């Protein structure tokens, strides 16, 4: 089964390598060709456009940074949609809006192809180990057809409903992750300002109901000031914005998510390099050092 993969960033590159290890014939495209060097050495074939990827693939996977990037690779000049073959499947593992997922599904149907929105969770380590989790929106029979492909990259997949359901669950989950990491950053700032070791807080968390896997991973990184991007801050900020956009369309207020986006916005403004979203801790460190109370915090009245 020939597989195409469009987008060779932090997640896409290890996904492509795992497809190759599983024995799939893989064709790739990325906006910056040099990022494809490793997968080309591993046996992938380069395509000169997203359209060429789609034209030669039974399954096409897209994993790009944001809605504009996905729109460009699908509908831009030499976009993938125009190359889709009847009976092929487009699997979008980007994190975008449910509305954009449904639009992509309609475009695929017009070409006689199928579509699944299948955003992922697991971070770069999950992508490297082939242990991603896919949140899928679409038809069960289409998912069954691509399960061998997903199995090369992930450990579990959940069919959550019609097109757009996968994106909806991904946005909801990322809102939770963002809030958890922000809460930990606030708590670390609080105990540090009070003269208590931040390490001791993590010890208590690990033995309490407040323990969460994301905090087990991000907590030590925050103490080490290790903000190498596994899930970039800029993308978490984007996902919070998408969640709030969806909530607005549904007439649903999300005050905690709105407050988190304000803090992530401020944290994003403090850095120039690409950092992980746990670098939100830098915002609280700076606030504590300056003796200032942050605006947009949950405690504001």
The residues annotated with a catalytic role in the active site are 170
Taking a C-beta distance cutoff of 8 angstroms, is the pair 283, 267 a contact? yes
Backbone phi, psi, residue 115, to 5°: -140, 145
Concatenate the DSSP letters of all residues of the chain into one string.
--EEEE--STTHHHHHHHHHHTT--EEEE-SSGGGGHHHHHTT-EE-SSHHHHHHT-SEEEE--SSHHHHHHHHHSTT-GGGGPPTT-EEEE-S---HHHHHHHHHHHHHTT-EEEE--EESHHHHHHHT-EEEEEES-HHHHHHHHHHHHHHEEEEEEEESTTHHHHHHHHHHHHHHHHHHHHHHHHHHHHHTT--HHHHHHHHHTSTT--HHHHHHHHHHHHT----SSBHHHHHHHHHHHHHHHHHHT---HHHHHHHHHHHHHHHT-SS--BGGGGHHHHHHHHHHT-PPTT-TT--
Distance CA 267, CA 286 (A): 10
Distance CA 166, CA 173 (A): 11
- Smallest CA-to-CA distance from 108 within 134, 79, 68 is with 79
């Amino acid at each position: 089964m020939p597989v195409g993969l469009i987008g060779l960033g932090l997640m896409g590159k290890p996904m492509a390598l795992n497809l190759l290890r599983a024995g799939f014939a893989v064709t790739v495209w990325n906006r910056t060709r040099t990022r494809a060097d490793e997968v080309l050495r591993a046996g992938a074939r380069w395509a000169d456009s997203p359209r060429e990827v789609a034209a030669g693939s039974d399954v096409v996977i897209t994993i790009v940074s944001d809605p504009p990037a996905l729109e460009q690779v699908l509908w831009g000049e030499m976009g993938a949609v125009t190359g889709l073959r009847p009976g092929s499947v487009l699997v979008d593992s980007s994190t975008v809006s449910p509305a954009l997922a449904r639009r992509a599904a309609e475009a695929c149907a017009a070409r006689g192809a199928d579509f699944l929105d299948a955003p992922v969770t697991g971070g770069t380590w999950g992508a490297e180990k082939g242990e991603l989790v896919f949140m899928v929106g679409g038809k069960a029979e289409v998912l069954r057809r691509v399960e061998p492909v997903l199995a090369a990259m992930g450990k579990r997949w959940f069919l959550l409903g019609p097109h757009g359901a996968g994106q909806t669950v991904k946005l909801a989950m990322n809102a939770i992750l963002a809030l958890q990491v922000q809460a930990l950053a606030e708590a670390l700032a609080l105990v540090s300002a009070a003269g208590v070791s931040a390490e001791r807080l993590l010890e208590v968390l690990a033995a309490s109901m407040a323990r969460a896997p994301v905090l087990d991973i991000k907590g030590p990184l925050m103490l080490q000031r290790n903000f190498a991007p596994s899930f970039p801050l800029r993308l978490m900020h984007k996902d919070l914005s998408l969640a709030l956009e969806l909530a607005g369309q549904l007439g649903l207020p999300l005050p905690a998510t709105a407050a988190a986006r304000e803090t992530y916005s401020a944290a994003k403004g403090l850095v120039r390099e690409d950092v992980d979203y746990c670098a939100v801790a830098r915002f609280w460190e700076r606030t504590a050092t300056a003796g200032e109370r942050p605006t947009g915090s949950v405690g504001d009245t």
